[in-house]
Amino acid sequence: MQDRFGRTIDYMRISVTDRCNLRCVYCMPAGGVDSVPHEEILSYEEILRVAASVAQIGISKIKITGGEPLVRRGIVDFIRRLKQISGIENVTLTTNGVKFYELGAALSQAGVKGVNFSLDCLNPDTYEQITRVDALSKVLSAIELSVKLGLTTKVNCVPIAKYNGSQWSSIADLAKKHPVHVRFIEVMPIGLGKDYAPVSSSRIMTQLKADYGQPTKLDIRQGNGPAVYYAFPNFQGNIGFISAISDSFCDSCNRVRLTSDGVLKPCLCYSDGVSLKPLLRGSATDNQLIDAIKAAIFGKPFQHNLCGEADETSETNNMVKIGG
Ligand code: SAM
Ligand code: SF4
């Protein structure tokens, strides 16, 4: 469907849990966050009902996110059922990769077509400083498996000068050596992200050009997202930049989000959203559910306010609660 600004909304990010097995410094405090009680998290049945409803109004692409989606029990079977919903054409996943090696083959069989791995560096010490867990080797094996399974494989790196400032080329090197796309995602001033200064794409690009030569800008979109892509000489995958702050892409935004506790969020940066839980757990008919979803999507704001005054960004949750 279209929102009131004429944007086609065909993509939903569904967070299946607010729990995570890592503690990335820009996303989750070292001691974790108070988790939503289990009974407040939507059941898989409830999420599938929302997915069937949004499929009827033209949302055909779903990204499963978290917290860490692979820590929720039953995720493979849930994805299999999601994929069977008429109108849901593409189901992808974003994961920290720690549990992917054990689940990858089953996820692929269940219908996952692509995986985004969050990985900010290739140095084990830096990895542990950022995520507070020693798990780099598991993530690297997971990425290798994803490529072997023939899944569209992307690596998402959040550049933070203090942590991985000297390692952008080594992360980009993954796209040279393997058929994976590496994307640099500007840190957003949401939750703990407010503690870190974004690194501009141009700063990273200067480094990459020095190490890999002149790239060609690609006139393509890959997947659902707003990344701007470049092809570097002799690279198997492309390099992308997602710059929500320095290069806002709100005018072509195609997405909404469903949090694990059932709030339909029209925009990442505002806390506003419509709680679908009372409808799902009450006596609402499917049509009433669809009407509530349509109203929320129609009211999507035109743009984020991440560049405005701090208090104008009303979302106070850490990204782990929202799903990125
Ligand atoms: N745990 C999964 C993962 O890491 O891919 C899924 C959830 S995580 C919240 C989704 C994405 O949000 C990750 O790529 C992560 O790097 C990104 N993220 C978290 N906090 C962020 C922030 N403040 N600014 C930009 N991206 C952020
Ligand atoms: Fe967990 Fe992903 Fe947040 Fe890292 S970015 S703490 S892996 S939810």
Which sequence spans correspond to the domains of the chain?
11-322
Q: Which atom of ligand 1 is nearest to the CA of 186?
A: 25
pLDDT score at 74? 98
Which one is predicted more confidently, 268 or 133? 133
Q: Does domain 11-322 have CATH number 3.40.50.1260?
A: no
Q: How many angstroms separate the alpha carbon of residue 319 from the centre of ligand 1?
A: 6
Q: Which atom of ligand 1 is nearest to the CA of 68?
A: 1
Q: β-pairing, 274-275 with 239-242?
A: unpaired
Q: How many angstroms separate the alpha carbon of residue 22 from the centre of ligand 1?
A: 11
Measuring from atom 14 of ligand 1, which residue has the nearest CA?
A: 118
Average confidence (pLDDT) over 158-166 = 95
Cα 231 to the chain's mean position, in Å? 23
184-209 pLDDT, tens digit each = 999 988 889 999 999 999 999 999 99
92-111 pLDDT, tens digit each = 999 999 999 999 999 999 99
Other beta carbons within 10 angstroms of residue 320's beta carbon come to: 28
Q: Which atom of ligand 1 is nearest to the CA of 322?
A: 9
pLDDT score at 309? 47
Which residues lie with the beta carbon below 6 Å from any ligand 1 atom? 20, 26-27, 65-66, 68, 94-96, 118, 156, 158, 185, 187-188, 190, 193, 319-320, 323-324
Tell me the helix, strand and coil percentages in the chain, rounded to 5.
35, 15, 45
Confidence of residue 310 (pLDDT cuts 50, 70, 90): very low
Contact 176, 215 (CB under 8 A): no
Task: Name the residue of 18, 20, 119 to mutate for ligand 2: max ligand atoms within 8 A of Cβ.
Answer: 20
Task: Name the residue of 27, 63, 120, 127 to mutate for ligand 2: max ligand atoms within 8 A of Cβ.
Answer: 27
Q: Which atom of ligand 1 is nearest to the CA of 94?
A: 5
Tokens of 37: 């009680």
Whether this model's pTM surpasses 0.75? yes
Cα 71 to the chain's mean position, in Å? 16
User: Is residue 116's pLDDT more than 50?
Assistant: yes
Ligand of minimum distance to the alpha carbon of 66: 1
Tokens of 18: 């607010």
